[in-house]
C-alpha cells in the first residue's frame, strides 16, 4: 500500500513526506511547484535516505491525476495538502482561490472514488472558525470565515462531510492547522515561499538576512496584549507528526474526524519578533502598517482532542521554532 501526498513538495508537505519515509511508508508525491522548489525532491530523499515516485501535476488536471492512480493501483490513502493558501491574496483573487482549491479537490475526490481509494487526511485550517467569540478554540465551535481562503477550506470540509453521508466506507480526517513555523533541524527544508512572503516567520527571516529592509506589522489596534494579532504558532515538524497520527487513525476507522493541531498557546506578532531576536541575537526592524483584510485579533487552539484521540501533542517551544526557521534561512539565503 502507498500514500499519495498532494502538494508534498511544499512547506508542510515536504516535512510530512520526510516523516512518512522515516517510518517506512511508501509515498507518491504530486506537486505543481506553484509555491515550492523542485530541489526539495532531492532534499527529502537526502533526509530520509529513501526514494519515491514524483509527478509534476496540478489538481485541475483530472486526466493527469487519473494517470497517477492507473499507474499506482496500490494507493490506498491520500494526504491532501495542495492548494493556494495566502489569506491576503485570497481577498484580492477570490475566483482563483475558489476555482483552484474547491474544483481541484473535487477532481481529486472523483478520481479517488473511481479507483476505490476512500481514506483521506485533509489539510484544513483554523480560519474555518472565523473570528471566535472565545479562546482557546475547540473543534465543536461555530464555523464561519472572514476571507475566501478560509471559505474554500470550509467548503471542502462540507463536501467531505457530505461525501461520508453518501458513502459510509470513507474515512476522513480534517486537520485544522493553526500557524506552522520553524523548519527541519537539518536546515535543509523549511518555508521558502515564492515572491514576498505572506506569513510572519519567512518575512522575519528575510529581514534578518537583509533581503528585506523592514517587517510590516499589520495593525497594532487589536484587543490583544500589545495591539498586534495573536496566533498559535506550531513547529512544522510537530505538525508533520500530527499527519502520521491522523493517517493511522484513518486506516483504523470510518467516518469524519476533526482535530485541531496547535500548541494551545497564543503569541502576538511583537512577542514572536522578540522571541526571534532572543533566540538568534539579531535585531528585527519593523513598522506598524494598516490592518490586513481578512485578519482577526486572536486565534489559538485547544488541542486536547488530538492528544486524547490521536496520542499527539506539540513538543517544540517558540524559541526552537525561531532557531530552526533561521537556520534554514541562513542555509538558503547566501
Catalytic machinery residues: 149
Q: What are phi and psi of 218, to 5 degrees?
A: -85, 90
Q: What are phi and psi of 121, to 5 degrees?
A: -110, 120
Residue 92: other Cβ atoms inside 10 A = 12
Helices within the chain (DSSP H only): 11-22, 39-48, 62-71, 87-92, 94-97, 104-114, 148-166, 200-208, 236-251, 269-280, 304-310, 318-333
Three cell numbers at 204?
Answer: 522575519
Three cell numbers at 45?
Answer: 530523499
Per residue in 255-278, is it b (16+ CB within 10 Å) or e — as a string?
A: ebbbbbbbbbbbbbbbbbbbbbee
The angle subtended at Cα 75 by Cα 74 and Cα 80, nearest 5°, is: 170
Contacts of 61 (CB under 8 A, 6+ apart): 107
Question: Is the bond leading into 256 cis (omega within 30 degrees of zero)?
Answer: no
The rounded distance, in Å, linking the Cα atoms of 118 and 226 is 46
Task: Give the position of cell 464555523.
Answer: 143
Three cell numbers at 216?
Answer: 510590516
Contact 121, 177 (CB under 8 A): no
The rounded distance, in Å, linking the Cα atoms of 206 and 272 is 15
Amino acid at each position: 500500500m502507498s500514500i499519495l501526498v498532494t502538494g508534498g513538495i511544499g512547506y508542510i508537505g515536504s516535512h510530512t513526506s520526510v516523516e512518512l519515509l522515516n517510518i517506512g511508508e511508501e509515498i507518491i508525491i504530486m506537486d505543481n511547484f506553484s509555491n515550492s522548489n523542485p530541489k526539495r525532491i532531492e532534499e527529502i530523499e537526502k533526509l530520509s535516505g529513501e526514494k519515491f515516485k514524483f509527478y509534476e501535476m496540478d489538481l485541475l488536471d483530472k486526466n493527469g491525476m487519473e494517470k497517477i492512480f492507473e499507474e499506482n493501483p496500490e494507493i490506498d490513502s491520500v494526504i491532501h495538502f495542495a492548494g493556494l493558501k495566502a489569506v491576503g491574496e485570497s481577498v484580492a483573487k477570490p475566483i482563483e482561490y475558489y476555482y483552484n482549491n474547491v474544483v481541484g479537490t473535487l477532481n481529486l475526490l472523483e478520481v479517488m472514488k473511481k479507483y476505490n481509494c476512500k481514506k483521506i487526511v485533509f489539510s484544513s485550517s483554523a480560519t474555518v472558525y472565523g473570528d471566535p467569540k472565545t479562546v482557546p478554540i475547540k473543534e465543536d465551535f461555530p464555523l464561519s470565515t472572514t476571507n475566501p481562503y478560509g471559505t474554500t477550506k470550509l467548503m471542502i470540509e462540507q463536501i467531505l462531510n457530505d461525501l461520508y453521508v453518501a458513502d459510509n466506507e470513507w474515512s476522513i480526517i480534517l486537520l485544522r492547522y493553526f500557524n506552522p513555523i520553524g523548519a527541519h533541524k537539518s536546515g535543509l527544508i523549511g518555508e521558502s515561499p515564492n515572491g514576498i512572503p505572506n506569513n510572519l516567520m519567512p518575512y522575519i527571516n528575510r529581514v534578518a538576512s537583509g533581503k528585506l529592509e523592514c517587517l510590516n506589522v499589520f495593525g497594532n489596534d487589536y484587543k490583544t496584549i500589545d495591539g498586534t494579532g495573536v496566533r498559535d504558532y506550531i513547529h512544522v515538524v510537530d505538525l508533520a507528526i500530527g499527519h502520521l497520527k491522523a493517517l493511522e487513525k484513518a486506516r483504523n476507522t470510518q467516518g469524519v474526524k476533526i482535530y485541531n493541531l496547535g500548541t494551545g498557546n497564543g503569541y502576538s506578532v511583537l512577542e514572536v519578533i522578540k522571541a526571534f531576536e532572543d533566540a538568534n541575537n539579531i535585531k528585527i526592524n519593523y513598522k506598524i502598517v494598516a490592518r490586513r483584510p481578512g485578519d482577526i485579533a486572536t486565534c489559538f487552539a485547544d488541542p486536547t482532542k488530538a492528544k486524547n484521540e490521536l496520542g499527539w501533542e506539540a513538543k517544540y517551544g517558540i524559541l526552537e521554532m525561531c532557531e530552526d526557521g533561521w537556520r534554514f534561512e541562513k542555509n538558503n539565503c547566501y
